[in-house]
């Protein structure tokens, strides 16, 4: 009897320690907010579960926010959480290379120089308060649409001040720029400006239900200032890969693409999570469900990308790190290319692969966004759900 009681006490002690450890682990590591697709359940593992009535609500209720309690062994309270029930999104999978022609809403200041005048060196741009990265939206009250418009305004000013309206990080400024007479003839403002950009990227997904598409996973930025270029209008065209420069440590490679005459659609938005546009015609692409952020897991996955005229192909990768859901940047995960064929051919990730879909467990979980310069087999990815959320917000605002 004594041995039985001793064994029983030992078992109870082990159970208590196990329960206490589970509660501590759950309190510190389980999320405060989870997302669940409607008519689906959320897997908390063998030890933890949601309060029954809330779990049923998450599986049957329409989209909305619900309060829940997580328990250990279905009886011991661990923590209260918020359950967000969302509708499962399905999209057509991309992987196609496309060409981007982007025209800015305004003109961006990319460089500032001094002007050599008969009386010496002067700095009209600095004196006016202009800075690199400023976006000039109006010149003398008229919308600034092109670099040539700025050049003409400076040349025709004959030294009279120009009234500029400038967007600096979302702040509106009214500045006065006085061009100076150059020793080389004509008037100069001491600024270099740009009004457009062109390049290639990869389509992440198509949505034939509303005739839209998304790509890149990050915004198109000015090459000199690094600022996202505000979109006035733009065009997306089909492109063909005719080669690439292989990546190596310290030297990221690049896809070489040729624009075709076949239009994909018009561009609507250029923002932190990518570029979004309207399709001219349905894509007919194979559809996959979009993973919620909580469904993205560490481990094996695949990226879909195009490196030659054989079209989009699947290549093996591994998701090695996932950043907290509270991180709102476009760098939500780290991926590593493990496919020997892709590493042999391209060295890993090259420029132009931005937007390449990442698939895991037969779901679209993300898109490739950046390559690690010192290790091109690795790079960043954005959650696909971030991109579809942006797309849905654009649709709601239309």
**Cα-Cα-Cα-Cα dihedral of 261, 255, 110, 194, to 10°?**
0
Measured CA angle at 194 (ends 221, 122), to 5 deg:
120
Tally DSSP H helices, then E strands, for the chain. Answer: 6, 26
Residue 53 pLDDT class (50, 70, 90 cuts): very low
Instruction: Assign 363 to helix, strand or coil.
Output: strand
pLDDT of residue 58: 46
Q: What is the pLDDT of residues 160-172, one digit of tens each?
A: 999 999 999 889 9
Q: What is the pLDDT of residues 59-74, one digit of tens each?
A: 445 556 666 666 665 6
Between 377 and 40, where is the model more confident? Answer: 377
Show which residues are catalytic: 218, 339, 354
Burial class (CB in 10 A: 0-12, 13-18, 19+), 160: exposed
pLDDT of residue 300: 97
Task: Count Cβ neighbours within 10 Å for each residue of 337-360 and write b for 16 or more, e otherwise.
Answer: bbbeebbeebbbbbbbbbbbbbbb
pLDDT of residue 170: 84
pLDDT of residue 52: 45
CATH number of 114-189: 2.30.42.10
Same fold, 91-101+198-397 and 114-189: no
Query: Using CA atoms, how far apart are residues 169 and 227, in angstroms rounded to an integer?
Result: 9
Q: What is the pLDDT of residues 284-330, one digit of tens each?
A: 899 999 998 888 999 999 999 999 988 999 999 999 999 876 655 67
pLDDT of residue 224: 76
Q: Delimit the domains of the chain by residue range.
A: 2-88, 91-101+198-397, 114-189
Q: What is the pLDDT of residues 104-136, one digit of tens each?
A: 888 999 899 998 988 889 999 999 999 988 999
**pLDDT beyond 70 at 218:** yes
Sign of CA dihedral 95, 99, 105, 111: positive
Q: What is the pLDDT of residues 253-263, one digit of tens each?
A: 888 888 888 89
**For 288, phi and psi rounded to 5 degrees?**
-135, 155
Query: Using CA atoms, how far apart are residues 301 and 22, in angstroms rounded to an integer?
Result: 30
Instruction: Assign 333 to helix, strand or coil.
Output: strand
Reference 236, options 252, 209, 257, 255; nearest CA is 257
- Outline where 273-398 has alpha helix (H): 340-346, 384-397
Reference 193, options 127, 131, 100; nearest CA is 131
Q: What is the pLDDT of residues 1-38, one digit of tens each?
A: 566 566 666 666 666 666 666 555 545 555 556 666 66
Write down how long the chain is: 398
Q: What is the pLDDT of residues 134-147, one digit of tens each?
A: 999 999 999 998 89
**pLDDT beyond 90 at 54:** no
Q: Which fold has domain 91-101+198-397?
A: Thrombin, subunit H (2.40.10)
């Amino acid at each position: 009897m004594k041995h039985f009681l001793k064994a029983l006490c030992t078992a109870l002690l082990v159970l208590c320690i196990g329960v206490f450890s589970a509660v501590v682990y759950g309190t510190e590591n389980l999320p405060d907010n989870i997302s669940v697709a409607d008519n689906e359940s959320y897997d908390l593992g063998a030890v933890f579960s949601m309060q029954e009535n809330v779990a049923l609500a998450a599986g049957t209720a329409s989209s909305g926010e619900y309060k829940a309690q997580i328990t250990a062994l279905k009886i011991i309270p661990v923590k209260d959480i918020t359950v967000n029930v969302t509708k499962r999104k399905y999209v057509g999978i991309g992987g196609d290379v496309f060409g981007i022609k982007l025209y800015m809403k305004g003109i961006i200041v990319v460089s500032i120089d001094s002007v050599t005048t008969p009386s010496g060196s002067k700095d009209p741009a600095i004196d006016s308060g202009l800075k690199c990265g400023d976006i000039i939206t109006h010149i003398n009250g008229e919308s600034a649409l092109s670099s040539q418009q700025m050049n003409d305004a400076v040349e025709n000013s004959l030294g009279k001040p120009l009234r500029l309206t400038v967007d600096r990080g979302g702040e509106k400024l009214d500045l006065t720029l006085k061009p100076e007479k150059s020793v080389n003839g004509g008037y100069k403002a001491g600024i270099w400006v740009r009004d457009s950009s062109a390049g290639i990227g990869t389509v992440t997904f198509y949505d034939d239900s509303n005739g839209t598409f998304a790509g890149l996973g990050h915004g198109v930025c000015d090459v000199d200032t690094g600022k996202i270029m505000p979109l006035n209008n733009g065009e997306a065209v089909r492109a063909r890969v005719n080669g690439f420069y292989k990546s190596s440590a310290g030297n990221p490679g690049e896809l070489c693409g040729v624009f075709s005459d076949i239009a994909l659609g018009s561009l609507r938005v250029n923002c932190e999570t990518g570029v979004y546009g309207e399709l001219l015609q349905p894509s007919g692409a194979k559809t996959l469900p979009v993973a919620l952020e909580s469904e993205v897991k560490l481990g094996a996955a695949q990226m879909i990308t195009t490196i030659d005229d054989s079209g989009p192909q699947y290549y093996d990768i591994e998701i090695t790190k996932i950043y907290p859901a509270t991180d709102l940047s476009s760098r939500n995960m780290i991926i590593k290319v493990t496919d020997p064929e892709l590493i042999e051919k391209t060295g890993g990730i090259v420029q132009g692969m931005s937007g390449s879909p990442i698939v895991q467990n037969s779901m679209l979980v993300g898109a490739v966004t950046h390559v690690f310069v010192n290790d091109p087999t690795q790079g960043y990815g954005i959650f696909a759900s971030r991109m579809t959320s942006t797309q849905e917000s654009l649709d709601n605002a239309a």
